[in-house]
Amino acid sequence: MKAFKISAPRKRGAVRGDIPLLVCVCLMVCFGCLMIYSASSYVGKVQYGDSLYFVKKQLIGAVAGGAVMAFFCFFPYRKLYKFRYAAVVIAAVLLVLVFVPGVGVTNYGATRWIGFGSFTIQPSEVAKYAFALFAAAYFAKNYRKVKTVRGVLPVLAVGALFCVLVILEPNMSITMCIGILMLALVFLSGTNLKTFAVVLVPCALAVPALIIAEPYRLERLSAFLDPWSSPLDEGYQLIQSLYALGNGGLFGVGLFNSTQKYRFLPFAESDFILSVMGEELGFLGLCVFFAACAFIVWRGFRIARRCSEPFGYLLAAGFTLVYGIQVVINALVVSGTIPPTGLPLPLISSGNTSLIITMASMGVLFNISRSGGEALPLAKEDGMPAVNNKNSAAV
């Protein structure tokens, strides 16, 4: 199986980077702030005495995310290879700190954050990108070993570690994201179908096992199959989401005119902000939004395909997959296609950790696009083999 094909190099002076990607990302962030104001103004006024409460927090995240994105736009992405082990260690430590009393923050029965005063971090958001970085670095250096299960074991071990720590929070949605990302990167690494099948089968069997292991997951599954059987309990959130989407119809009720955001729909500004968007902008508005999401994913994979060395290729593909997987899972949850699980809509939902980390990843994608498809080897001290720069080659 061919992992990727090296493109013909372009003249360095002609390379400007993927500007359309950055423009789309910035527009999405601005749109997200607008929708957060619409979805949260009432709750912010009633609960915090400030209709702009959530918007102000998001704007702080947007400014910080913009600064971090600008930094990574010009920080040579090849240097990230050196931080592959540090990224795993930092992410694992942060995930463990979630369970330390006085450090971990619990909301609605889940301990998913660590807090330092008024400042909170969601480590699982960091873990997704740390895993993508580690997997890209490992497969780039050990691409001759990916034909065997033993060859991909280090990546599977790190992925399994992160999945276990995240599911203990509990956070089924991020666990699914990391699991799908792990399988996708194993596939893109160039492994054969036999090895991929050996990896895929236990992962597929783990999903029903995780659902059965916790009673609350069985309750959510039951609510998913028939939400009206418990309209005031487990099925309430999904029913309210479907009401919002149904009320929006084809053209929507108009911006700021949602009725479900008046405390009928829980987490309207975060996990279920897509429902408010559907109500206010309608089916056509959501089509435009998903077209913008698809544009970001397309540009990300385009950058990966044009990259002439394995680390940049896999890193661009991994970061793009994280974004795409989250968008798809969030949309499936909101529409009642899969059982409800909390997951932010990247670049849109309220939440600074997700926003800053996602914008940083987009900066890395832009930096990879600036390489112009040139197969420049990593530094010798990194232990990376040089790539033969021909018009077409497979890793």
AA letter at 125 = E
| Residues 112, 124: Cα–Cα separation, whole Å | 8
Gap between the Cα atoms of 278 and 165, Å rounded:
34
| Cα–Cα distance, 149 to 226 (Å, whole number) | 40
* pLDDT in the model for residue 231: 67
Give dist(CA 84, CA 269) in Å, integer.
34
The reported pTM is 0.88
Residue 262 corresponds to which tokens in the numbers above?
């008046």
C-alpha to C-alpha distances, 108 to 44, 168, 390, nearest whole angstrom: 18, 15, 55
Q: Let me know if 301 is exposed, middle or buried by CB neighbors in 10 A (0-12, 13-18, 19+).
A: middle
pLDDT score, position 173: 83
| pLDDT at residue 167 in the model | 86
Is residue 334 exposed (0-12), middle (13-18) or buried (19+ Cβ within 10 Å)? buried
What is the pLDDT at residue 230?
66
CA dihedral 216, 217, 219, 222 (to 10 degrees): 180
What span, in angstroms and rounded, lies between the C-alpha atoms of 56 and 74?
Answer: 28
Residue environment code for 371-395, b if the CB has 16+ CB neighbours within 10 A, otherwise e: bbbbbbebeeebebeebebeeeeeb
Element (H, E) at 181: helix 172-188
Under 8 Å between Cβ of 256 and 51: no
Element of type H or E holding 121:
strand 119-121
**Residues β-bridged to residue 111:** 106
Q: Give CA separation, 71 vs 134, 244, 362, in Å.
A: 21, 39, 11
CA nearest to 222, candidates 213, 234, 232, 231: 234
- Count CB atoms within 10 A of the CB of residue 13: 7
**Coil, helix or strand for 30?**
helix
Is the CB of residue 247 less than 8 Å from the CB of residue 214? Answer: no
Residue 373 identity (one-letter amino acid)? G
* C-alpha closest to that of 272 among 344, 173, 356: 344
pLDDT in tens, the chain (395 residues): 344 444 444 444 445 789 999 999 999 999 999 999 999 999 999 999 999 999 999 999 999 999 999 999 999 999 999 999 999 999 999 999 998 888 887 776 677 878 876 678 889 999 999 999 999 999 999 887 888 888 899 999 999 999 999 988 878 888 889 999 999 999 999 888 888 888 888 877 776 666 666 655 556 666 656 666 666 666 788 889 989 999 999 999 999 999 999 989 888 998 899 999 999 999 999 999 999 999 999 999 999 999 988 999 999 999 999 999 999 999 998 988 777 677 899 999 998 999 999 999 999 999 999 885 554 444 444 555 444 433 333 33
DSSP for 66-113 reads HHHHHHHHHS-GGGGGGGHHHHHHHHHHHHHHTTSTTTEEEETTEEEE
Angle 116-109-234 from CA coordinates, rounded to 5°: 145
- Here the tokens at position 7 are 């493109």
